[in-house]
Chains A and B, each alone.
Chain A
């Protein structure tokens, strides 16, 4: 008989514990979802990347010119939180700023001839570097970088990333520094590493191919037959070269000198933009990181309250189960249940209040982005306008050069039908 009673009691308890378990599971689910953070914490880079520099100066004929194309803007983050305060206007400015930062890093290595930031690809570049912004939010920077040369060799295609914290925005003396120097140094080191694998013969060949590609682009009829392109590998091979006193080659070199001048002028534009936006951009990144950290703090506080509240409610539920098991023998339990649930609900309300505080920080983050974009946009547009104007004029002139040089070639080879 006693056994039967025990079994009945266990069944009763099991029947009661089903809704209890459901309540507990629901509470846990609510707690976990409420405890989600807006911005995950990121561990900053601990190691400082050392820039690989030349030990002895490289002779001039072995120096390669590098052209860095202004970076591709990449895709803006799709999540609401990640994209807050980030816009394509800001990316436009960053795409130029970062290219110039990389240029500075390359110059410091001493491995390269002239390093210039350019708006687009052109024929006859010796080494070209392209980049794509994968992530840039003031705390993390992730870039996809590709480098290739005039011969058609791809040097590498790799992602480079770095992360910083608030303290890193302040140098030892409290001055502003380029916080993502590590990223640029990594890229510079990668380029230097590839360069070091090249033999002097390969470097000379690369420079000759570069010149011939430029010449062929300018006067196709005069420079056909000097280069061959392997369709499989996409690489250029030199078949033969014009003599050093070739008149047409001398003319091409004159034009190429103008191409250098144009690139120099465009580069000055980008340098100007970099200089103009450096301070305001650093401030924006820093402020953005501060706001993100504030949101994180608010999230932490909210989560803490939510956890406390949840635990109190859970303990109330546990007491309820205990009370049921004791079949109402302990009259103090209902009081305790009431107190625990009451305190728990109060904590949850408190957490909700804190959550609302975070909304203010989010709005501030948005506002920061808007005001930075508004500040930098006119300068970016001005630089872009000047670049278009200058490259447009250059293209028109280039076409005229092509025409005159073609005629000259025809006159010189006797194939002309020219009459003035």
Chain B
């Protein structure tokens, strides 16, 4: 009986030696690996973040000064949007490794578990208190967006009017040439063009061409062909993970139309990859 007990104890000891001790040693090695990986991620993130910041600032400055051609703008926007995506992914990688990128000078969005959304497994993005400058910038952005929306509305209406006028003129030329003739005669004598545009060249008057293109943010005037990105192509974002949500938010708040389009492209790419 005693032998049996001794044999059992020896067996347990052997099993302990075979399983627990190596596992502990392996865990310690893993921790060291994790630390190395975290440091590496933070280092990469810092580098990407610095590159993104400088390029983003440069892009905006060039847009203000209207220094680039349409092709250059687009290429630059692709580059900046790609960097932004890398920053967001880097932040998420650091967070997953248990790190805090904000301690290393990177302005990542902090995440915390939201009891409300815990059931669905979603994470709530908690925003830190904004500085005065940030609040101002945010309000300026809102203002820019409201103005762009309004410009879009007017432009839409003006296009409609142009189309209707074209229609009525073509109908008029088909149906009653006499009316056009009479109008022309009347206004020619009076110094008023027959189409009713009585704006005086060289004077203060500036008729409807004042419109700024829709989607243009503050300080962004007409800059060639505008992106035709449609938001309906990107879904409602209900199945977004943390990175996708941050990309989406970045695209939504972006006021530069070209960069906005590229950020949406990055969002779509990311969604396709993760799907």
Contacts and interface: CB of A to CB of B under 8 A. Distances in A.
Contacts of B146: 397, 400-401, 404
A404 B158 CA distance: 27
B143 A405 contact: yes
Interface string A242-271: 000000000100110110111011001101
- Categorize the interface residue count of chain B: 35 or more
Contact of B186 (A65, A177, A401): A177
Contacts of B190: 104, 108, 178, 181
- Categorize the interface residue count of chain A: 35 or more
A113 B136 contact: no
Given A103-B198, A175-B186, A278-B183, A411 B139 contact: yes
A393 interface: yes
Contacts of B210: 257, 260-261, 264
A75 interface: no
B72 interface: no
A269 B161 contact: yes
Contacts of B151: 258, 261
B154 to A, nearest CB: 5
A110 interface: yes
A418 B135 contact: yes
Interface stretch (B75-83, B112-120, B174-182, B227-235): B174-182
Contact of B130 (A264, A405, A420): A420
Given A408-B136, A418-B135, A113 B143 contact: no
A28 to B, nearest CB: 50
Nearest to B199: A114
Most chain B CB neighbours (cut-off 10 Å) among A261, A272, A278: A261
| Majority-rule SS of A interface residues | helix
Contacts, number: 136
Given A107-B198, A171-B185, A269-B161, A412 B136 contact: yes
Contacts of B182: 175-176, 279
B153 A416 contact: no
Interface string A267-292: 01101101110110000000000000
Given A114-B206, A420-B138, A175 B143 contact: no
Contacts of A178: 186, 190
A96 to B, nearest CB: 13
A60 B203 contact: yes
B147 A258 contact: yes
Contacts of B130: 419-420
A60 B204 contact: yes
B96 interface: no
B196 interface: yes
A416 B132 CA distance: 10
Contact of B183 (A108, A269, A279): A279
A279 B179 contact: yes
Nearest to B153: A393
Contact of A113 (B129, B194, B203): B203
Contact of A264 (B147, B195, B208): B208
Given A271-B197, A404-B143, A420-B127, A113 B205 contact: yes
A404 B146 CA distance: 9
A278 B200 CA distance: 22
B224 interface: no
A173 B185 contact: yes
Most chain B CB neighbours (cut-off 10 Å) among A176, A265, A272: A265
23 contacts: A57-B202, A100-B196, A113-B203, A175-B181, A176-B182, A181-B190, A257-B210, A261-B210, A264-B207, A265-B161, A268-B158, A271-B197, A272-B161, A272-B165, A272-B196, A278-B179, A393-B150, A394-B150, A404-B142, A411-B135, A412-B136, A414-B132, A419-B130
Interface of B: 127, 129-130, 132, 135-136, 138-140, 142-143, 146-147, 149-151, 153-154, 157-158, 161, 164-165, 168, 176, 178-179, 181-183, 185-187, 189-192, 194-200, 202-208, 210-211
Rank and list the top 7 A-B pairs by shortest CB-CB distance, nearest first.
Answer: A271-B196, A113-B204, A114-B205, A279-B179, A107-B198, A175-B185, A264-B208
